[in-house]
């Protein structure tokens, strides 16, 4: 038995922070890639597809996108097992293909040869046979008990002979053994922001008798990648660009790249953000977030004549504050007088 496990596809989602053209390109390319996933299901002879929730981003998905997806489901003919996610729990699944099997209160499990796919609506009589490979499919957070989407895994698996738990909701790949049960989050199939960096893909599961093997398969064409770059002592623009280049060596041209500048720069620094951006316009998307701070020469300021900054430092140093507070007040005050972002 060969199973493709995915979740959190979020058809119809977009990153509203991106330029409109990039949003549209990503949306269209994700649909084309999703179509190619169905080709892979056919060509690589998968027996089943499992989608652990959040197929659609909202109930307001266009009919065109929904119809396109379900046509592909119907064409591959293999069972596509689905449980509802928190994003599409209000979506009305009408006129879906026969091989799109929704596990819910009305249909809490699905049997395929010796593989039994169970949902959270199982009961004691629905999961017991040791002859089966029992797989629980659910959408939720098994880690955070205060979450509204919390799943109490111990309650769902205790005394139920569960061999494998396939999950959705958390957008990064995780595989771990909890007790005697292996749990897998495949992560989201595509990323929708810089809070979801790195490879996105699905999990391939092969079952032979009672033996279960799995592997993560990177799939998404575009990755969100965020890198920190320390520009301390790099006052020349060419040195800064080179530092950025070294920081993003593992990023590909298809990636959406954010570089966060850190460290300190001097008043003579050639830190030209527009120049840095234009140096890397060969990436699908590139942006710079500047968290670097001005390195302040306090001794130089103290010796300035007729200077507001020197007068400010003198007032702070003559105050009754402790030394730590004096240093913080001096830094913030000089940054404010120079028009810099404050170190808060």
Q: What is the per-residue pLDDT across 156-181, written as a single tens digit (0 to 9) for each?
A: 776 668 889 999 999 999 999 887 78
Let me know whether 75 and 211 are in one domain: yes
Q: How far apart are CA 117 and CA 127, in angstroms?
A: 9
Nearest to 67 by CA among 25, 97, 36: 97
Q: How far apart are CA 137 and CA 184, in angstroms?
A: 10
213 within some domain: yes
Let me know whether 113 and 97 are in one domain: yes
Contact 173, 185 (CB under 8 A): yes
237 within some domain: yes
Tens-place pLDDT, residues 98-107: 999 999 888 9
Tens-place pLDDT, residues 254-309: 999 999 999 988 877 888 899 999 999 999 999 999 988 877 777 777 877 778 87
Given this model, what pLDDT does residue 200 score? 96
Given this model, what pLDDT does residue 83 score? 94
Residue finishing a domain among 190, 218, 246: 218
* Average per-residue pLDDT for the chain: 88
Q: How far apart are CA 183 and CA 167, in angstroms?
A: 7
Nearest to 256 by CA among 290, 282, 219: 282
309 within some domain: yes
296 within some domain: yes
Give the list of residues 6+ apart from residue 75 with CB closer than 8 angstroms, or none: 38
CB atoms within 10 A of CB 200: 25
pLDDT band at 79 (very low <50, low <70, confident <90, very high): very high
- Specify the DSSP class assigned to residue 342: P
Nearest to 179 by CA among 166, 165, 167, 194: 165
Least confident of 48-62, 117-131, 205-219: 117-131
Let me know whether 22 and 169 are in one domain: yes
Let me know whether 107 and 24 are in one domain: yes
Angle at 338 between CA 337 and CA 341, to 5 degrees: 100
Domain that holds residue 231: 224-338
Given this model, what pLDDT does residue 180 score? 78
344 within some domain: no
Residue finishing a domain among 168, 191, 218: 218
pLDDT band at 141 (very low <50, low <70, confident <90, very high): very high
Residue finishing a domain among 218, 252, 286: 218
Let me know whether 212 and 270 are in one domain: no
Burial degree of 264 (CB within 10 A; 0-12, 13-18, 19+): middle
Torsion of CA 324, 325, 327, 329, to 10 degrees: 170
Let me know whether 184 and 242 are in one domain: no
Least confident of 62-76, 143-157, 192-206, 250-264: 143-157
The more confident residue out of 91 and 48 is 48
Q: How far apart are CA 66 and CA 337, in angstroms?
A: 56
Given this model, what pLDDT does residue 235 score? 87
Let me know whether 173 and 77 are in one domain: yes
pLDDT band at 124 (very low <50, low <70, confident <90, very high): low
Please count the structural domains in the chain.
Answer: 2
343 within some domain: no
């Amino acid at each position: 038995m060969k199973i493709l496990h995915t979740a959190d596809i979020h058809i119809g989602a977009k990153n509203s922070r991106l330029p409109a053209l990039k949003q549209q390109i990503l949306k269209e390319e994700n649909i084309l890639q999703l179509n190619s996933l169905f080709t892979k299901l056919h060509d690589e002879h998968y027996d089943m597809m499992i989608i652990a929730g959040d197929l659609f981003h909202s109930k307001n998905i266009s009919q065109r996108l929904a119809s396109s997806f379900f046509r592909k489901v119907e064409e591959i003919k293999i069972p596509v097992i689905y449980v509802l996610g928190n994003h599409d729990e209000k979506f009305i699944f009408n006129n879906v293909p026969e091989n799109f099997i929704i596990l819910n209160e009305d249909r809490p499990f699905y049997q395929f040869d010796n593989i039994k796919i169970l949902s959270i609506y199982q009961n004691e009589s629905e999961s017991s046979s040791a002859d089966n490979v029992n797989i629980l499919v659910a959408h939720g957070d098994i880690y955070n008990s205060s979450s509204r989407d919390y799943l109490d895994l111990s309650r769902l698996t205790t005394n139920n002979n569960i061999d494998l738990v396939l999950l959705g909701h958390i957008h990064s790949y995780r595989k771990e053994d909890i007790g005697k049960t292996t749990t897998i989050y495949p992560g989201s199939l595509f990323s929708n922001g810089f809070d979801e960096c790195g490879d996105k893909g699905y999990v391939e599961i092969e079952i032979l008798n009672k033996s279960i093997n799995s592997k993560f398969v990177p799939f998404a064409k575009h990755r969100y990648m965020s890198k920190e770059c320390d520009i301390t002592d790099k006052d020349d623009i060419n040195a800064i660009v080179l530092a950025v280049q070294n920081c993003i060596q593992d990023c590909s041209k298809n990636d959406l790249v954010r570089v966060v500048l850190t460290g300190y720069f001097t008043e003579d620094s050639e830190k030209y953000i527009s120049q840095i951006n234009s140096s890397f316009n060969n990436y699908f998307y590139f942006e710079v977030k500047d968290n670097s701070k001005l390195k302040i020469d306090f001794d130089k300021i103290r010796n300035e004549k007729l200077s507001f900054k020197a007068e400010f430092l003198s007032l702070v140093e003559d105050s009754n504050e402790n030394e730590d507070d004096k240093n913080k007040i001096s830094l913030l005050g000089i940054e404010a007088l120079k028009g810099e972002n404050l170190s808060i």
